[in-house]
């Protein structure tokens, strides 16, 4: 039974992702965001529990990626699609085919997770943007667009050009040969962890000032800090 606990947590991640997908299809982005947060917790917990119980398995590794494809790939793709639908209600013309560009995100998420499973380089750092981080960026922008009281902000976030740019760039970042820092602490020295420490402090400051809007800036900041403090290959 002990060996199955991490797998149960992984399946809980998948279940939360499926319910989030249903919420997105019902245009309930707020509930979907809560379920996305639950998926993040379960995704973090399954690896933590597996390490604590020393019950790593190939099944768990593959199951984790399959769950992540749904929770952090398919669902964000549909969130982006819903943003295009919202944009179609605005003043800017949106061609009928354009919303489907959002599905680049689940396609490239699947590719990224497949590569991750066979890439031995990603034990100490990531190659390409992790799918949970990409999903966080998309969710945060969608929530900002849906609940902002500023018409200018809404017009920018729901502009077809911006949404197309977001779809393509976020998809490409998933598979880019770009070394990005891992958030795991290997020691407690400043030099080894300065990027992580700056990211954590900046995230706290941004959230204190901007509240939930801060989430839209944390992933770009993570990318910037990874470039400035390039992980050792």
Residue 49: burial class (beta carbons within 10 Å; 0-12, 13-18, 19+): middle
- For residue 1, pLDDT over 90 is answered with no
pTM of the model: 0.91
Task: Please tell me the predicted confidence (pLDDT) of residue 157.
Answer: 96
Is 182 inside any structural domain? no
What's the domain count of the chain?
1
Is 228 inside any structural domain? no
Domain that holds residue 92: 2-177
Is 214 inside any structural domain? no
At 107-151, the pLDDT tens digits run 999 999 998 888 878 767 889 999 999 999 999 999 999 999 999
Is 122 inside any structural domain? yes
205-230 b/e with 16+ CB inside 10 Å = b? ebeeeeeebbbbbbbeebbebbeebe
Assign 21 a pLDDT band (cuts: 50, 70, 90): very high
- Range of weakest confidence among 45-54, 65-74, 114-123: 114-123
Assign 105 a pLDDT band (cuts: 50, 70, 90): very high
Is 206 inside any structural domain? no
At 176-206, the pLDDT tens digits run 999 998 877 666 777 778 888 999 999 999 9
For residue 177, give the DSSP letter.
-
Q: Looking at residue 59, which CATH number applies to its domain? A: 1.20.120.1760
Please state, in angstroms and rounded to a whole number, the distance separating the CA atoms of residues 67 and 43.
9
């Amino acid at each position: 039974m002990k060996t199955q606990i991490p797998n149960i947590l992984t399946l809980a991640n998948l279940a939360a992702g499926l319910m989030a997908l249903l919420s997105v299809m019902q245009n309930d982005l707020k509930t979907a965001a809560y379920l996305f947060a639950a998926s993040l917790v379960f995704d973090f917990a399954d690896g933590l529990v597996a390490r604590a119980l020393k019950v790593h398995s190939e099944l768990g590794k593959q199951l984790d990626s399959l769950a992540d494809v749904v929770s952090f790939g398919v669902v964000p793709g549909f969130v982006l699609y819903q943003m295009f639908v919202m944009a179609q209600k605005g003043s800017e013309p949106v061609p009928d085919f354009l919303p489907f560009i959002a599905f680049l995100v689940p396609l490239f998420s699947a590719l990224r997770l497949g590569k991750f499973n066979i890439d031995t380089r990603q034990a100490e750092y990531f190659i390409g943007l992790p799918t949970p981080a990409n999903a966080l960026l998309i969710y945060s922008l969608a929530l900002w667009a849906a609940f902002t009281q500023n018409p200018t902000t809404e017009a920018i976030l729901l502009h077809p050009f911006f949404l197309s740019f977001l779809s393509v760039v976020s998809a490409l970042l998933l598979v880019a040969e770009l070394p990005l820092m891992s958030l795991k602490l290997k020691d407690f020295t400043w030099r080894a962890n300065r990027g992580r420490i700056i990211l954590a402090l900046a995230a706290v400051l941004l959230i204190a000032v901007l509240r939930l809007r801060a989430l839209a800036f944390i992933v770009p900041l993570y990318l910037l800090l990874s470039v400035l403090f390039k992980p050792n290959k």
